[in-house]
Amino acid sequence: MIEKPLPIPDGDSDVFWQGCKEHKLLIQKCEDCSSYIFYPRVLCPNCFSEKVEWVQSSGVGKVYSFTIARRPGGPAFKDEVPYVVALIELEEGVRMLSNIIDVDVDKVDCDMPVEVVFQVEGDFTLPKFKPRAI
Amino acid sequence: MSIKRAAAIVGVGDVELEKGKVKHGHSVLQIQAIAAKRALEDAGLSKDDVDGIFVAGLWGLPGIGSFPSVVVSEYLGIQPKYTDSTQIGGSAFEAHVGHAAAAIQSGLCEVALILYGSTQRSEKSRTLAGRPPVLTAQYETPYGLPSPAGAYAMAAHRHMHQYGTRPEQLAEIAVATRKWAQLNPHATMRDHLTIEDVLTSPMICDPLHLLDCCLVTDGAGAIVLVSAERAKDCRKKPVWVLGQGESHSHWSIQAMPDLTVTSAAVSGKRAFEMAGVTHDEIDVVQIYDSFTITVLLTLESLGFCKSGEGGDFVSNQRTAPGGDFPLNTNGGGLSYAHPGMYGIFLLIEAVRQLREEAGERQVKNSKISLVAGTGGTLSSTSVVILGRD
Ligand SMILES: [Zn+2]
């Protein structure tokens, strides 16, 4: 079996992946212009301030868009098809790529409410999303 | 500042394919050399005339392919005075045209050679795997998004959600493009195709079917661009660069501001303003068709129709031979060839149309052509407007 590609953490992402291990979805907020930022950076891409702080996202959002992978995104995902890859727009306004799990793939739609769940994958914990009852 | 009419394309060259593969098991350097020689012969120039070189590619990586303009120059025996390996994906060559015209205008070079080649089909090197999960890709690759189809599929879903665009409207593009391919003896896919065929082909990434996706082929192309002064002595009549623009909005698909609008809104606007022409004055259009949705989003972003109206715009085979909007007249990446970074072939086809060398697929009385390249996952765009005297 081919192992799935896992993140190679760096100075930007160490805190993010550690947060996932503790089941916290951490994003950044600029202290100067109040923008929320994802993925993590050393400065704010809106105003270039270096005063970016970690904040915990509510983990609640909606599906901005999605696809159902009928062919795997590389051999490591061969046994998973069909699976949903989606762009999640969190309440705070930032988008992140993830999977929608615990769902009938044909029931996913744009703007569907979702919430974060954490899934262990090798030495990492990845943030994934499941439909949210409202 | 403008590069309008600073430079002209005077030579184009490419190589024949057999079932999407280069002949004789040629290497990626061999086919680029053959295409370069043909483009220079087309122009009536020799390799010693070349003083500017522009190369981007995906070959020889990791390794010597990191330095493509240097490696190709060495292979061809060219020592340039101007060198450019700008790599922004499939739209790189439209950017090269702009950069070359600017260099020519400022006297930094006189004869520019733009080159691309790929043997991805022969090497069976293409997969749907994402990029190594380092740096910004660490937030994407672990989720298994098929690359690049998945990102384009998400753009298609969003467009459908916002505007009610239908799969059969995307299929219209694939069918119209196939009709052009049937008029091009060099096209890879020439069988009759219906909207039903597209909709019943296997789903790759919902809502994109197999026949919404471009081909995976080999290929090589070359373009020779010269100053107005040098154009006077060339074998072929000049095809002028009237306007050009380039931009990019993101690399990771999560960072694309609006999945339904590409940076062609920016690069196209600059190209139109520089050329001083209106949409109605464009006779023939070449738009990067990595996927059917790429064409639809680009038509809207360029302003040929309003946001959300792309589906209606392409309906009733409007872009097919005989329609009032001739588009991708060589059969496009969907049916002619798609060797990884397709942008150079859009330019080559535009030149052949403007020179009236397009045979059965010739669009009559074409004077102005628009070429719109797209690279990455709807990431980069570059637009070139070309015209003949
Ligand atoms: Zn800021």
d(CA A107, CA B314): 29
Q: Among residues B94, B115, B116, B103, which one has the least CA distance to residue B7?
A: B103
Q: A2 or B256: which carries more pLDDT confidence?
A: B256
Residue-wise pLDDT for B190-236, tens only, equals 999 999 999 999 999 999 999 999 999 999 999 999 999 999 999 99
Q: What is the pLDDT of residue A134?
A: 79
Return the closest-CA partner of residue A97 out of A77, A71, A67: A67
3-state secondary structure at position B80:
coil
Is B336 part of the annotated catalytic residue set? yes
pLDDT at residue B200 in the model:
98
Q: Give mean pLDDT, residues B294-315.
A: 98
Contact between chains at B144 and A69 (C-beta distance less than 8 A) = yes
pLDDT for residue B31:
98
Mean pLDDT score, B22-39: 97
Provide Rg for chain A, Cα atoms: 16
Give the H or E element holding residue A87. Answer: strand A83-90
Which residue is catalytic, options B82, B116, B152, B288?
Answer: B288
Nearest CA to B188 out of B373, B346, B28, B22 is that of B22
Residue in B135, B143, B202 closest to A97 by CB? B143
Q: One of B82, B116, B152, B336 is an active-site residue; which one?
A: B336
To the query of whether residue B288 is one of the catalytic residues in this protein, the response is: yes
pLDDT in the model for residue B134: 97
B157-194 pLDDT, tens digit each: 999 999 999 999 999 999 999 999 999 999 999 999 99
Share of chain B above pLDDT 70, in %: 100
| Domain boundaries, given as residue ranges, for chain A | 14-131
| Closest chain B C-alpha to A104 CA, distance in angstroms | 14
Under 8 Å between Cβ of A74 and B130: yes
| DSSP collapsed to 3 states, B364-389 | CCCCEEEEEEEECCCCEEEEEEEEEC
This prediction's pTM = 0.98
Round to whole Å and give the CA distance between B382 and B237.
24
pLDDT value of position B127: 86
Residues of A in contact with B142 (CB under 8 A): 4-7, 121, 124, 126
Token pair belonging to A103: 């769902």
Q: Reply yes or no: is the peptide bond before residue A39 cis, omega within 30 of 0.
A: yes
Full set of structural domains in chain B with CATH:
7-125+214-388 (3.40.47.10)
ipTM: 0.98
What angle do the packed helices B68-76 and B28-43 form, to 10 degrees? 70
Query: Which percentage of chain B shows pLDDT scores above 90?
Result: 99
pLDDT of residue A26: 98
Per the prediction, chain A carries an average pLDDT of 97
- Sign, Cα dihedral of B279, B284, B287, B290: positive
Q: Which residue from B minimizes the CA distance to A4?
A: B142
Place of tokens 């919404």: B212
pLDDT surpasses 80 at A1: no
Cα dihedral across residues B197, B200, B202, B208: positive or negative: positive
Q: DSSP assignment, residue B356?
A: T
Task: Report the C-alpha dihedral over residues A37, B373, B44, B85, rounded to 10 degrees.
Answer: 20
Structure tokens at A25: 């979805």
Give yes or no for a contact between B353 and B331, defined as CB atoms under 8 angstroms apart: no
Chain B residues whose C-beta sits inside 8 Å of any chain A C-beta: 127-130, 132-136, 138-147, 149-150, 153-155, 157-158, 161, 202-208, 252-255, 259
Report the alpha-carbon distance of residue B296 to residue B240 in Å, rounded.
Answer: 27
Q: Which residues of B touch A70 (CB under 8 A)?
A: 202-206
Q: Encode pLDDT of A58-107 as tens digits.
A: 999 999 999 999 999 999 999 999 999 999 999 999 999 999 999 999 99
Would you state the pLDDT for residue B268? 98
Helix (H) / strand (E) element for A69: namely strand A60-69
- List Cβ neighbours of B21 (8 Å cut-off, separation of 6 or more): B121, B122, B217, B218
Report chain A residues whose CB lies below 8 A from the CB of B259: 64-65, 87
Contacts A–B by Cβ distance under 8 A: 125
pLDDT digits (tens, 9 = 90+) for B117-153: 999 999 998 889 999 999 999 999 999 999 999 999 9
pLDDT (average), residues B235-260: 98
Comparing CB atoms, the residue among B147, B205, B254 nearest residue A68 is B205
- Mean per-residue pLDDT of chain B: 98
Q: How confident is the model at residue B116 (pLDDT cuts 50, 70, 90)?
A: very high
Contact partners, residue B121, CB within 8 Å, separation at least 6: B20, B21, B216, B217, B218, B339
Per DSSP, what are the bridge partners of residue A68?
A84
